[in-house]
Structure 1
């Protein structure tokens, strides 16, 4: 008997680490009529958006807004703070921290990579040792929440070390801003990059670069630019003058962002972070109960996505194809982790309904593939939920 697949792109549950499903209110905002990008109305919208973004970054400094992917934001941060010949210490523990090193090289930086095994945390003592060996380091790059491995790096501890050595810390916060704690001013994170299609809950196309107030003087004194579109000095000069953008912005995406930020603040930032953390605990408990091993180092697991190791008997191709056939899209591994792990996101709108559904279908698929499931992942996740909510029996 043939199986008719009732799921298509419109009703598949999207559980990859970006792009994420967006709220119906955000979809409606995207359909608003376009108005002029040099009008007072659009400038007022941009100003309000920036005010709403600042608490998510934990900063009083400006948040620069670019039309482009998160990588455009990474490029802007590097092109603004790295000049040819500057030494850059890149903390590499995954695909996206590796990308920072690649961007720094294209900017002419003398890159020194501090490589940590993928799936492991970058300990502060490792950074301390590297900075002692390279005292002329100008910029340190890191990824806060490594999307490729499901590891949440200890950004606040690393920032203390970097500050002691007088370097600028540039952080990729693309899958942490809006879903976990990011406290730029309190922790001493100098520059933090984010993207629109992750925890901020809108389609891809906007990038954000938040800069601590103490570094604005550096931007203003920057007389030598090695970028055009991604030179933050261009953005700052027009922003401080008229709260505008130097280039045409993605108007519909800004409509969507404003609506999504309203939703975020209606929920409350603390409530939102705690929801993400609860969903992460449920997901980890569920897959562990099924008999699978988590990829991230214990104690450093991401709260916006979970990476899970495949057992030897299960192939990535079969597992993800069957998940898709049952209406759920999860992500595979990247680079040398292809075929070795799968990744499940729990960001933006994800709540207990989505987590329990993913775990139930994952258990079904594992059984279809002949894996001896250890125990119920759904029950384990529900127990976490009930315990956290104070209703455990």
Structure 2
């Protein structure tokens, strides 16, 4: 059997598989974007996005990836020379520091070993040493290491000290608990191709009142396209973005968000957490070790260390030969780990399949394991959930 893009299973952290209803929605005839009909669709997307983000704050949707939303956050909030504390525990939290530097601010790195979470006391200590820090950036769910950071506790610290907190929620929004208003997150960004279950190409950004206070005091925003005051003015005037939308993607997002709300916020988060637990127990039963430290594991992606003697390229090619794509490691973790995503519509069927194939491919490559042990361990997790 030969697998191709038509029938291969994506267990990668974006793009992820999405429902046929989303494909169907995107097949609609493209309508003009300056019409009442399109404004209604776009406005409903913003309203549903607020529900998914659990916020009453402003939310904007624009054409671009999650990185574009990160870029917008820095461009609109941070001025040259501002001190920014960048909490770095992986490749994507490091991206905040790179963007910070691009816009002329002064990044102050707080580096944590990849695979470990940023501890709240580390943040307190860093802010005490540099009291003139104005902003703090972090990833809620660090995709490169499959670590879930304690954003609630960190947000309490930044709020108490009057710092603006910018959070990458690209692989947590729509898949795990995120309460920006309750926790005190000032900027929260997301992307369409992860837990939201839509193709790549849309970035989302939530802007809280403390962030607006900073933005509104700036004389000039150094961006024409992702100028948040321009987006706010346009949406308040006519429920539309100031520039042309990716119309077909908006149709897809509308359907994807509708499905998320049909499932229900609590149900969706519980399902993602159940799938994560099944993957972790199943992979451990196969003899694999998690990269993430215990107690800080992501609920939307799992990173596994390769056993000694297992080659990254051979393993992932073996998985692909059997019809499943998993992701490799990044930066200095390249060749040392592989990553399995369990986002959006991934459920029991896909989890049991990827565990069975992982056991099969490991044995094909000479690793001694009980290939059925992974499936059995995951089944126990699922059966326990029925009780």
TM-score of the superposed pair, with normalisation by structure 2: 0.98
Distance in 2, Cα, partners of 1:218 & 1:135: 18
Q: Which residue in 2 is equivalent to 1:82?
A: 78
1:160 to 2:123 alignment: no
* Aligned counterparts, 1:318-329, within 5 A: 318-329=314-325
What is the CA-CA distance between 1:221 and the residue it aligns to? 3.7
Matched residue SS, 1:204: coil
Structure 2 residue aligned with 1:194? 190
* 2:380 equivalent among 378, 383, 388: 383
Pick the aligned partner of 2:337 from 332, 337, 341. Answer: 341
Give per-residue Cα distances to partners, 1:54-79, cap 9 Å, x unaligned: 12212100111110011000000010
| Distance in 2 (alpha carbons) for counterparts of 1:165 and 1:105 | 23
SS in 1 for 2:79: coil
Preserved CA contact (<8 Å) 2:76 2:215:
yes
Select 2:273's aligned residue among 269, 277, 280: 277
Displacement after TM superposition at 1:213 (Å): 3.6
The answer for unaligned runs of 5 or more in structure 1 is none
**2:323 aligned with 1:310, yes or no?**
no
Report if the CA contact (8 A) 1:59-1:212 is conserved: no
* Contact 1:277–1:303 (Cα < 8 Å) also in 2: yes
Aligned twin of 1:16: 12
Paired residues of 1:307 and 1:344 also in contact (CA < 8 A) = yes
Partners of 1:241 and 1:223 lie apart in 2 by 22
Matched, 1:185 2:155: no
Shift of 1:183: 0.2
Give the whole-Å Cα distance in 1 for the aligned partners of 2:254 and 2:342.
22
Contact 1:276 1:303 (8 Å CA) reproduced: yes
Q: CA deviation at 1:217?
A: 4.0
Equivalence map 1:34-73=2 (5 Å): 34-73=30-69
Instruction: Pick from 292, 296, 299 the counterpart of residue 295 of structure 2.
Output: 299
How far apart are the structure 2 equivalents of 1:121 and 1:216?
29
Residue equivalent to 2:285: 289
SS where residue 223 of structure 1 aligns?
coil
Which residue in 1 is equivalent to 2:165?
169
What are the Cα deviations for residues 152-194 of structure 1, in whole angstroms up to 9, with x where unaligned? 0000001011112211000000000000001001111111000
Aligned length, in residue pairs: 386
Contact 2:359 2:370 in 1 (8 A): no
SS at 2:289's partner residue?
A: coil
1:321-340 Cα distance to aligned partner (Å, 9 max, x none): 00000000000000000000
3-state DSSP class of the match of 2:190?
strand
C-alpha separation in 1, matches of 2:97 and 2:105: 9
Asked if the contact 1:83/1:226 (under 8 Å) is kept, the reply is no
Write the distance in 2 (CA, Å) between the matches of 1:240 and 1:222: 20
Of 232-241 and 282-291, the range deviating more from structure 2: 232-241
Q: Does 1:114 align with 2:110?
A: yes
Deviation at 1:357? Answer: 0.1
Provide Cα deviations, 1:264-311, integer angstroms capped at 9, x if missing partner: 111111101100000000000000000010000100000000000001
Which residue of structure 1 lines up, in the alignment, with residue 24 of structure 2?
28
1:350 aligns to what SS in structure 2?
Answer: coil
Q: Is the 8 A contact 1:199 1:348 kept in 2?
A: yes
Shift of 1:33: 0.5
Cα RMSD of the aligned pairs, angstroms, is 1.0
Distance 1:310 1:324 in 2: 17
Mean Cα displacement is larger for which, 85-94 or 238-247? 238-247
Q: Is the CA contact (8 Å cut-off) linking 1:202 and 1:253 kept in structure 2?
A: yes
Q: Is 2:86 the partner of 1:101? A: no
Correspondence 1:232-271 to 2 at 5 A? 232-271=228-267
TM-score, length-scaled by structure 1: 0.97
Query: Does the 8 Å contact 1:135/1:165 carry over to 2?
Result: no
Q: Give the whole-Å Cα distance in 2 for the aligned partners of 1:114 and 1:63.
A: 29
SS in 2 for 1:323: helix
Q: Determine the structure 1 residue equivalent to 2:218.
A: 222
2:127 corresponds to which of 116, 124, 131: 131
